[in-house]
Structures are given as C-alpha cells and as structure tokens.
C-alpha cells in the first residue's frame, strides 16, 4: 500500500513539474502570443459596441430631442456618461412639431445634460434649408446650436459660405460670424 501511494505521489510531482515547465520555462513564440492577444483585444472591443442605440429626451413644453446611431460606445468619466456614436441621426422637435434634423459621421452625447458634439460631414436640415459643416454643437444648458468649420448654407433664398452659424433654440435667431473680422461672407442669392 505504501509503495502505491509513493508511485501516485511521484507521478503527481512529475505531472506538476511538466506543467510548470511548459507554462513558465519553455520558449514562447512571441509572434503567435501577440496575435492571440490582439484577437482577444479586438473581440473585447466588439463586445463594448452597441448597435442601433437611440435616446429620446423630453425637454419639456412638448419639445423633444432624439439621437440615434448605428454604432455606439458608452464611456464613464468623472461621473459623466459620454456616448461616442458613429453614423448619427438627431432631431429636435419643437412644440409645433417642427423638426430640425442633424446628421453626422460621429458624435459624442452627454447623457447627463444631453449636450452633443457632432463632427465630420455634419448636415443640418430645417424646412427647405440645409447647412453642411465640419462640426456642430448642441448646448441645451445655454440653448444654442453652433455650427462651424467650412459652413455652407443653402436654402430657398440662396447660398451662404461662412465660418460660424449660431442658432438660438429659444428665439430661433441666427447669427453668422467669420473667424477673421477682415474676411467676408460669401452670399449668392437665387
């Protein structure tokens, strides 16, 4: 009986030694290790993406803000939830059900104050008016939309090229600015 236990213990020690050797002391092919690590990392990234995410915010007084994206990733930073979005559609609907539509390649949406930053191929449509730009910001704290970077407006009255367009969400007044006071607006009427 004693010899059977000794044989079992010897085989167990041998098995553990073999496992430890292959785990810690054998040569590892670094290239295959890095490839496996990258695959795991990419799989983790895919798990963090949310497809077809949509937020609907009631702004009060029958006003709504809707924002949706084809792909999104949620990030928490300093007690703020920021959602990075790709292929974005947003709408601001007022109490008369008039809709302002915003589209862009990318956006960052703040889930606390609903402020949104849009970038790349920003398109804003309002009635028969269309604005194209590089960037756009909706700031609900100060009630404005700011559109900037290669701003081109086209509407029933004509064409306008400027640096910045700012829209007051309460009064709907629009202000148009150039970054350099010596630059001129480009306006073409129909």
CATH of the domain at 144: 2.60.450.10
The whole domain housing 56 covers 52-189
Mean pLDDT of 115-134: 92
Check residues 28 and 159 and name the one with the higher pLDDT: 159
Clarify whether residues 62 and 147 are in a common domain: yes
Clarify whether residues 155 and 63 are in a common domain: yes
Mean pLDDT of 20-30: 47
Clarify whether residues 37 and 85 are in a common domain: no
DSSP code of 27? Answer: -
- Could you tell me which of 130, 121, 84 has the C-alpha nearest to residue 103? 121
Q: What pLDDT, on the 0 to 100 scale, is given for residue 14?
A: 60
Per the structure block, which two tokens stand in for 170?
């309460």
Strand partners, 188: 159
Clarify whether residues 96 and 36 are in a common domain: no
Q: b/e map of 124-144 (b: 16 or more CB within 10 Å)? A: bebeeeebebebbbbbbeeeb
Residue with tokens 């150039």: 178
Clarify whether residues 177 and 149 are in a common domain: yes
Q: How confident is the model at residue 11 (pLDDT cuts 50, 70, 90)?
A: low
Q: Where are the alpha helices (DSSP H) in 119-160?
A: none
Q: How confident is the model at residue 38 (pLDDT cuts 50, 70, 90)?
A: very low
How many CA atoms are closer than 13 Å to the CA of 24, on its beta-carbon side? 6
Clarify whether residues 90 and 138 are in a common domain: yes
Clarify whether residues 78 and 10 are in a common domain: no
Would the pLDDT of 41 be above 50?
no
Q: How many domains does the chain have?
A: 2
CA end-to-end span of the chain, whole Å?
Answer: 105
Clarify whether residues 171 and 126 are in a common domain: yes
Clarify whether residues 26 and 104 are in a common domain: no
Mean pLDDT of 16-36: 46
Strand partners, 129: 126
Distance CA 125, CA 138 (A): 14
Q: Under a CB-based contact definition with an 8 Å cutoff, are residues 161 and 151 in contact?
A: yes
Would the pLDDT of 71 be above 80?
yes
Q: What pLDDT, on the 0 to 100 scale, is given for residue 181?
A: 74
Distance CA 53, CA 69 (A): 6
Clarify whether residues 100 and 28 are in a common domain: no
Q: What pLDDT, on the 0 to 100 scale, is given for residue 149?
A: 92
Distance CA 90, CA 101 (A): 6
Per the structure block, which two tokens stand in for 41?
């990392």
Clarify whether residues 135 and 184 are in a common domain: yes
- Could you tell me which of 28, 20, 91, 21 has the C-alpha nearest to residue 54? 91
Distance CA 162, CA 174 (A): 13
Clarify whether residues 168 and 74 are in a common domain: yes
What percentage of the chain exceeds 90 in pLDDT?
Answer: 30
Q: State if pTM tops 0.75.
A: no
């Amino acid at each position: 009986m004693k010899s059977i236990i000794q044989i079992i213990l010897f085989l167990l020690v041998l098995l553990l030694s073999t496992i430890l050797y292959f785990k810690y002391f054998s040569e590892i092919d670094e290239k295959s290790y890095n490839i496996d690590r990258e695959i795991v990392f990419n799989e983790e990234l895919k798990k963090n993406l949310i497809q077809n995410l949509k937020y609907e915010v009631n702004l009060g007084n029958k006003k709504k803000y809707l924002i949706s994206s084809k792909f999104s990733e949620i990030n928490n930073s300093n007690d703020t939830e920021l959602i990075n979005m790709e292929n974005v559609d947003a709408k601001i609907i007022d109490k008369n059900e008039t809709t302002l539509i915003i589209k862009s390649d990318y956006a960052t949406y703040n889930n606390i104050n609903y402020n949104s930053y849009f970038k790349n191929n920003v398109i804003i449509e309002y009635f028969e008016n269309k604005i194209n730009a590089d960037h756009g910001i909706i700031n609900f704290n100060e009630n404005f939309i700011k559109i900037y970077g290669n701003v081109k407006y086209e509407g029933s009255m004509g064409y306008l090229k400027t640096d910045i367009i700012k829209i007051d969400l309460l009064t709907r007044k629009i202000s148009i600015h150039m970054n350099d006071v010596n630059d001129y607006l480009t306006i073409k009427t129909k």
